[in-house]
Structure 1
Amino acid sequence: MKEMLQTVSIEEALSLLRAHFRPDPMPSTRMSIRDALGQTLAHDVLSGEDIPAYPRSTMDGYAVRAADTFGASPSNPVYLRLAGTVEMGQVPEEDIGEGVAMIVYTGGILPKGADAVVMIEHTTRWETGEVEIQRQVAPGENHVRAGADARRNEVALSAGTNIRSQEMGYLAALGILDVPVRLRPRVAIVSTGNEIVDADIHPNSGQMRDVNTWTLTSLVEECGGEPLATGIVHDDFDALSAVHRDCLREAQIVVISGGSSKGAHDVVADVIDQSGEPGVFVHGISMKPGKPVIIGVAKGKACFGLPGHPISAMLAFHIFVEPAIDLLLSRNRRRARTIQATLSTSIPSAPGRDDFVRVVIRENEGLLVADPVLGKSGLISLMVNSDGFVHVPAAREGFSPGETVEVKIW
């Protein structure tokens, strides 16, 4: 059995992964935006037009020349001649000249000559055909300029962008209905353990249902990959080697859960190491939970051995497997959802180790408070009953009650 390598930091493990795993990007294909949610752009997307094509009001009010309103106040109003109304969806035929105003609605096009909009709340309309302006406005106030959303022939969305709901709307606004995207990388998921049974089986004494296949395949999909679940493999070198060989042929990444720590039946490191060069280069990371993570490369494919405990496996997936998927997609790193919260109780931590502590977020007198959720990493309910986690860096010896901490939302 392969001995555990020296424990390394998270940063060192990621650096080694990037050094040894240098895949070509996944091939690209064109896809309707109807199916593009969660996909990754393979090439830059250029705008074919200015969006909006004309300056548009962001308020109901009066289109004016800002210079005509200078000095206006409730006690010293300015009076402008009302020249008509800009109808929604119509391009104004009249220009705004000196001393003139036109009614404009939210989203309406500004007439030529207008460079600001006075909110209707700051005006009074008189039967004489004049409008009383009770507040001055600056050039550019209460409207968006032409091309503020996108400029013709400029990059609207760059290659590597993960397409979310907002990108879907942006593409629709640009009139772009199909886009070049990367094919989803295939990620093989293997659960190991003599004690593991399928989720539809009632476990006997000493057995437990397979949780990791379901959590890890779901995470693969959330991260833009295509999961290939192989089922459960017993702690047997030959059996796991055969499955691993198949996975290396079919997938770009192989994730094996269970059998990553030292023990008589822990064969994952040996299987990965004997599958091709360079083999295993990380076996043990200074983090909790998730210390016995294995990282290797065989036949140009990234191979991971994750702990069998569900919480450890899920956390290790986010930290190590997701970046490997990003490399295959040439994807810009996805921004984690974070919030600031006040810690309700202390979080102790051993120096020299990165700790990840689950928390629940609650509101107290208008402030967000983070309550640590304590428990063993084998209890999947702790993930269900928590909102996110606090990362305690290796250089810290924990956090004290009342400290403001960053919470990464699941």
Structure 2
Amino acid sequence: MTSSPNHPSHADTTPDLHVDEVHQRIARLVARGRKDLPTEQIALGEAVGRILAADVLSPVSVPPHDNAAMDGYAFSGAALQSAGAELDLRVVGKARAGAPWNGQLGPGEALRIMTGAVMPRGADTVVPQELCQPQADRVRFDRLRVVAGAHCRKAGEDLRAGGLALAAGTRLAPAALGLLASLGQAEVNVRRRLRVAVLSTGDELLQPGEPPRPGAIYDSNRTTLSALVRSLGLAPLDLGPVPDRADALAAALTDAGRQADVVISSGGVSVGEADHTRSALAASGELAFWHVAMRPGRPFAAGVLTGDAGAPLPFFGLPGNPVAAMVSFLVFVRPALLQLAGCGAAEAVAPPLVRARTSRALRKRPGRTEYQRAVLRRVPGALPVVDVALNQSSAVLSAMVAADALVVLPHDQGHVDADEEVDVLLLDTLS
């Protein structure tokens, strides 16, 4: 694959891998590099995005008692069977949320009740107040507008005491945290954050805040990739820029292996004389593959480094162009990191694609998968429409900022006509 230990051959004819094959090879790398991360007990309010370390069984039923789902009047639904057109009931008391009524309803009786209040004994139905005609201590309503059992939330309707509330490996989104709070949990047992080393390579890189110089560009990739890692609830370790020297890169990878659980680099994975990433990986670990039949993101290397105590450490070498680096991360690295962090397989897969129509024709040659930046427009009563950015250069990060979707054009797809249906990956589902 290389003409020398340090410089890959420009005549490399290894075929580009289909994206499906890349996913399979990465799955094998993840299986080799995955380990049980230590656990820690943290406050519920600090747990968003963290990975649940153990099953949570519900200590209580939710809700803990039958309660009213509407403001209205509670009564026995059996009364509906023998009533005439109207049901006329005597109101014997009132219940509010947190202030239950402790009596028992008898035949022909009702209780004024508020949403969330405990249902009284002898009642299983609530008639909404807007359907009622209250008069002094009585209430009348059309019985045909009420169904027995209506607007009564049953005890344990959400969760039964002792039942599984959340499975180990769940990534704790806001709804999951709310569920834990509903069980009275103030703390939660989670995996230690996966430590992800992030570095960038290139003599041309300037750091934000440095003055410009001829031939140099500001390094955006480390900032972008670290933010993507952090958005997944993981811990980025910024290892800084690395010069275009094989010895410097080898030292950086060794340093990363001592600190991190996984390493991500950007740049240096192409075929230029200063592109040392692949050869450094091959020298200090194992190179699994390095180019993919996709656009953007063809130069993408993956393999394992020898980590601390000789353990295999997954490595992902992303392209240097900022959009290519970002798309490669979202497509390949994101699911791998979630699995390495302890997520269950169902949560670590890519989100489902949606269907949309293109607003214009798209040029595409068969033989590679393309991810084109686009903006999705909702159309009432019809499929949404995607407006694909005119400039799909992998160096144009501003088009990625404007995009809220990626149009996914499969490997064998050719040109796409205007108004043709395509698959779309929504970017807001990837955080």
Name the residue aligned to 2:281.
Answer: 272
Cα distance per residue 1:92-129 (max 9 Å; x no partner) = 31233443322211112211232222222222113362
1-side partners of 2:363 and 2:122: how far apart? Answer: 64
Name the residue aligned to 2:158.
Answer: 149
Name the residue aligned to 2:394.
Answer: 377
What SS does structure 1 have at the residue aligned with 2:390? coil
Cα distance per residue 1:287-336 (max 9 Å; x no partner) = 11111110111221111110111111111111222222222222032574
Would you say 1:350 and 2:365 are equivalent positions? yes
Cα distance per residue 1:178-199 (max 9 Å; x no partner) = 1110011111111111211111
Question: Does the 8 A contact of 1:126 with 1:132 survive in 2?
Answer: no
Matches within 5 A, 1:221-260: 221-260=230-269
Question: Does the 8 A contact of 2:86 with 2:140 survive in 1?
Answer: no
Would you say 1:261 and 2:273 are equivalent positions? no
2-side partners of 1:341 and 1:97: how far apart? Answer: 58
What SS does structure 2 have at the residue aligned with 1:297? strand
Give the fraction of aligned pairs with identical amino acids, expressed as a percent: 32
Question: Does the 8 A contact of 2:55 with 2:166 survive in 1?
Answer: yes
Name the residue aligned to 2:68.
Answer: 57
2-side partners of 1:308 and 1:319: how far apart? Answer: 16
1-side partners of 2:374 and 2:343: how far apart? Answer: 29
Unpaired stretches in structure 2, ≥5 consecutive residues: 1-6, 307-311
Name the residue aligned to 1:175.
Answer: 184
| CA separation of 1:211 and 1:161: change in aligned 2, threshold 3 A | same
1-side partners of 2:319 and 2:129: how far apart? Answer: 62
Of residues 324, 338, 342, the one that matches 1:326 is 338
Aligned length: 406
Question: Does the 8 A contact of 1:340 with 1:407 survive in 2?
Answer: no
2:125 partner letter: A
Q: Choose 364-373 or 292-301, whichever is displaced more.
A: 364-373
2-side partners of 1:398 and 1:166: how far apart? Answer: 41
Question: Does the 8 A contact of 2:364 with 2:414 survive in 1?
Answer: yes
1:409 partner letter: L
| CA separation of 1:243 and 1:147: change in aligned 2, threshold 3 A | same
1:328 partner letter: L
Would you say 1:293 and 2:300 are equivalent positions? yes
CA shift, 1:337, in A, is: 8.3
2-side partners of 1:398 and 1:176: how far apart? Answer: 54
Cα distance per residue 1:25-64 (max 9 Å; x no partner) = 2111111112211111010111111111111222111212
Question: Does the 8 A contact of 1:122 with 1:135 survive in 2?
Answer: no
2-side partners of 1:95 and 1:396: how far apart? Answer: 69
Question: Does the 8 A contact of 1:69 with 1:136 survive in 2?
Answer: no
Q: Choose 157-166 or 19-28, whichever is displaced more.
A: 19-28
What SS does structure 2 have at the residue aligned with 1:381? helix
Of residues 21, 38, 49, the one that matches 2:30 is 21
2-side partners of 1:128 and 1:305: how far apart? Answer: 76
TM superposition score normalised by structure 2: 0.88
Question: Does the 8 A contact of 1:357 with 1:373 survive in 2?
Answer: yes
Q: Choose 129-138 or 222-231, whichever is displaced more.
A: 129-138
1-side partners of 2:149 and 2:353: how far apart? Answer: 33
Name the residue aligned to 1:283.
Answer: 290
CA shift, 1:341, in A, is: 4.3
Of residues 49, 59, 71, the one that matches 1:48 is 59
Of residues 30, 50, 75, the one that matches 2:41 is 30
Question: Does the 8 A contact of 1:63 with 1:114 survive in 2?
Answer: yes
1-side partners of 2:418 and 2:78: how far apart? Answer: 55
CA shift, 1:387, in A, is: 1.4
CA shift, 1:390, in A, is: 1.8
Unpaired stretches in structure 1, ≥5 consecutive residues: none
What SS does structure 1 have at the residue aligned with 2:79? helix
Question: Does the 8 A contact of 1:360 with 1:387 survive in 2?
Answer: yes
Q: Choose 242-251 or 399-408, whichever is displaced more.
A: 399-408
2-side partners of 1:12 and 1:339: how far apart? Answer: 23
| CA separation of 1:266 and 1:35: change in aligned 2, threshold 3 A | same
CA shift, 1:395, in A, is: 3.9
Question: Does the 8 A contact of 1:57 with 1:143 survive in 2?
Answer: yes
Q: Choose 46-55 or 111-120, whichever is displaced more.
A: 111-120
